[in-house]
């Protein structure tokens, strides 16, 4: 026992050097793996949110200990055949061997078990534990029904020393469908807390600045963003793109590194702006910097930037068609007469409606409507006479193709097609403004 204790401690420290704050998981995994020749648990299920170090921990353990292993990402395996072949071929390449001349072909689980045993023999791995790491394991559920149970019991089926490690973002309970599962050993990777995030982020401090200074900066960034975002990689991204702005006064010679108050004052409004676009990743860091320079020149930039994000230029009739579709989606069909009939007395009827009885249609989302109704509303609101030409109908199709409308029923034109409008109220308001149409006046919810 004494002999084995030290290597484990060594590996723990070397692995956790590159991946901090995960000591307990590393220890646990390493003790599960044991020595090379020891039998391991048949399956380990590691789960946790994105960017909690699942893959990183397991990869670096497997690499530092030089254990025979293969990594497969289920996203790539759009059929089970690919999964089998990826595992088998990966075993060759990952263990320093040249790929076999003809890649292994494998059609089903039965072949896989047989070939797997054969491969292990081939590579002289009978006396070692072979690790199969399956990333995005939740995809396995969508494949053939036998795959998940078979992988969980692979040790038994292949009659060899193999350990299957499943990585996923969702809990194990969601995997239980059907029977015949061997329960895997479950390892949870919890979210990092604020201090841990700080410890990890500070490791990527840029050159030329002291760690304390960067830590100061990071705690500022975290104080703003931690409320909305705890994703490590997103925070990394944010810290990286905003650092240049933070140190701007230092570069200009207006402040020193210790002058944190001044730096914060300069930095705060900028962070508030960045908060609006968190998660969007619409700009690369270079473009973000360019945008900042422009926004310094004119303060209007961010507002414009945000509105231009959703602004779409449309042909004249397309605008009306879209408005008509919006009205048809959010107004009950019964109310059409009230809004669009020329002879009805608007004031008399609006009093009759009891406000408390109806639910807000905007809360319920868009409703499907037939093409006829769309055209009727269109003709009621459009200015001037419009011939029902093929071009008009073509525009409906092109609105569908850019996902401003969606077709919900009726695949061809003869079978009355139904549509839904997919745009938001703000969007339709801005479209209506460009054609001087007061859309709110025609909406049932706002009358």
Partner 1 sequence: QGTFAYKGKKRSIDADQYFKRSDTLGTYRQRLDVLQEAWENIDTQIQILRSDLNSKIFDDLVKFAKSSHESFTLGGGQIDSTPKEIPTAAFVTGVNTPDHGVMFSTLVTTLQDKVSPLVAILKSKDCNSVKNTLSKTLTQLFQNPLLFSEDDEAIPGNTKNMTCSMSTLVSWYQDKYNTNNSSPKKRKSLGGGSKDLGQYPPIVILFEDLESFLPHVLQDYISICRNYIGEIPLVFVFGIATSVSAVHRLLPNAVSSMLCMEKFQAPPSTEYLNMVINQILMTSRYPFKLGSKVFQLLLDIFLYHDFSVLNFIKGLQFAMMDHFFTNPVSHLCCSVEELEDRVTSLKPKEVEQVRRLMSFRGFVEGCPPSKQEDMLLNDKVTKLEFVVLLRRIHTYHSHLYPVLKCLHIMVSKIPKHPLGKQLREVYSRLLKSFICDTEDYKECIELLRMTSKDELMDLLQQCRSSLTEDLPPDLSTLPSDLDALLDRFLKIDEVTEEETPENTEESLHLEKTDLHTLRKRLQEEGKKKKKLSPYEKLRNETIDFFDSLFRKYLVCPTSLPLYEIFYYDAWGEIKRHLNASPRSVVQMALSSPHHYLQCKCCESEPGSVTPSMPDICIAYKLHLECTQLINLYDWLQAFVTVVTTDEDLDEEKIKNPDKELQARFIRAVSELQFLGFVKPTKRKTDHVARLTWGGC
Binding site for partner 1 (CB under 8 A): 18, 50, 56, 73, 75-76, 78-79, 82, 85-86, 103, 136, 231, 233-234, 236-237, 279-287, 308-318, 372, 387-392, 394-395, 398, 401-404, 414
Beta bridge partners of residue 396, listed in sequence order: none
Residues with Cβ within 8 Å of 186's Cβ and at least 6 positions away in sequence, in order, are 44, 45, 46, 47, 172
Pick 125 or 322: Cβ nearer partner 1? 322
The nearest distance, CB 432 to partner 1, in angstroms, is 17
Q: Any idea what the Cα angle at residue 148 is, between residues 180 and 102, rounded to 5°?
A: 135
d(CA 118, CA 88): 10
The nearest distance, CB 406 to partner 1, in angstroms, is 11
Pick 58 or 152: Cβ nearer partner 1? 58
Pick 28 or 400: Cβ nearer partner 1? 400
The nearest distance, CB 81 to partner 1, in angstroms, is 9
Pick 1 or 387: Cβ nearer partner 1? 387
Residues with Cβ within 8 Å of 359's Cβ and at least 6 positions away in sequence, in order, are none
Q: How far is CA 383 from CA 237, 431, 437, in A?
A: 49, 15, 10
Pick 345 or 415: Cβ nearer partner 1? 415
Q: Are the C-beta atoms of 36 and 100 separated by less than 8 Å?
A: no
Pick 334 or 403: Cβ nearer partner 1? 403
d(CA 61, CA 38): 16
Pick 268 or 383: Cβ nearer partner 1? 383
d(CA 165, CA 12): 19
Q: What is the dihedral of CA 83, 84, 88, 93, to 10 degrees?
A: -20
Pick 185 or 317: Cβ nearer partner 1? 317
The nearest distance, CB 395 to partner 1, in angstroms, is 6
The nearest distance, CB 64 to partner 1, in angstroms, is 13
The nearest distance, CB 350 to partner 1, in angstroms, is 26
d(CA 227, CA 23): 26
Q: Is 343 helix (H, G, I), strand (E, B) or coil?
A: coil
Longest dimension (CA), the chain: 96
d(CA 122, CA 116): 10
d(CA 47, CA 137): 10
How long a stretch of residues is the chain?
Answer: 447
The nearest distance, CB 97 to partner 1, in angstroms, is 15
The nearest distance, CB 282 to partner 1, in angstroms, is 5
């Amino acid at each position: 026992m004494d002999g084995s204790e030290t290597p484990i401690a060594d590996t723990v420290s070397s692995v956790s050097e590159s991946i901090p704050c995960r000591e307990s998981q590393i220890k646990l995994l390493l003790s599960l793996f044991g020595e090379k020749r020891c039998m391991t648990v048949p399956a380990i299920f590691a789960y946790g949110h994105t960017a909690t170090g699942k893959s990183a921990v397991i990869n670096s353990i497997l690499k530092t200990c030089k254990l025979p292993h293969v990594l497969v990402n289920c996203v790539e395996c759009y059929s089970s055949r690919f999964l089998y072949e990826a595992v088998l071929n990966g075993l060759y390449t990952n263990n320093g061997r040249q790929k076999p001349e003809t890649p292994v072909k494998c059609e089903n689980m039965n072949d896989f078990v047989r070939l797997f045993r054969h491969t292990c023999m081939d590579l002289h791995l009978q006396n070692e534990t072979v690790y199969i790491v399956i990333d995005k394991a939740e995809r396995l559920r969508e494949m053939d029904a036998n795959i998940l149970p078979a992988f969980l019991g692979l040790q038994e089926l292949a009659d060899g020393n193999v350990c299957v490690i499943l990585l996923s973002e969702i809990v194990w309970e969601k995997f239980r469908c059907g029977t015949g599962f061997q329960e895997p050993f479950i390892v949870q990777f919890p979210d990092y807390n604020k201090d841990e995030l700080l410890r990890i982020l500070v490791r990527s401090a840029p050159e030329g600045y002291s760690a304390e200074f960067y830590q100061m900066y990071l705690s500022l960034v975290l104080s703003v963003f931690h409320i909305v975002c705890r994703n490590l990689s997103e925070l990394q991204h944010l810290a990286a793109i905003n650092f240049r702005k933070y140190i701007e006064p230092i570069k200009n010679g207006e402040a020193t590194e210790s002058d944190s108050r001044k730096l914060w004052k300069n930095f705060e409004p900028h962070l508030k702006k960045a908060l609006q676009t968190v998660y969007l990743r619409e700009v690369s860091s270079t473009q973000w910097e360019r945008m900042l320079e422009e926004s310094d020149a004119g303060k209007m930039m961010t507002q414009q930037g945000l509105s231009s994000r959703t602004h779409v230029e449309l042909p004249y009739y397309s605008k009306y068609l879209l408005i008509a579709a919006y009205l048809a989606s959010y107004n009950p069909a019964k109310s059409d007469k009230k809004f669009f009939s020329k002879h009805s007395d608007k004031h008399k009827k609006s009093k009759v409606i009891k406000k408390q009885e109806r639910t807000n249609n905007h809360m319920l989302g868009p409703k499907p409507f037939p093409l006829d109704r769309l055209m009727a509303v269109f003709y009621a609101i459009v200015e001037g006479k419009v011939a029902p030409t093929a071009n008009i109908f073509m525009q409906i199709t092109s609105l569908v193709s850019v996902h401003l409308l969606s077709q919900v029923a009726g695949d061809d034109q003869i079978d009355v097609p139904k549509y839904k409008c997919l745009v938001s109220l703000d969007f339709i308001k801005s479209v209506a403004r460009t054609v001087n149409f007061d859309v709110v006046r025609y909406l049932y919810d706002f009358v």
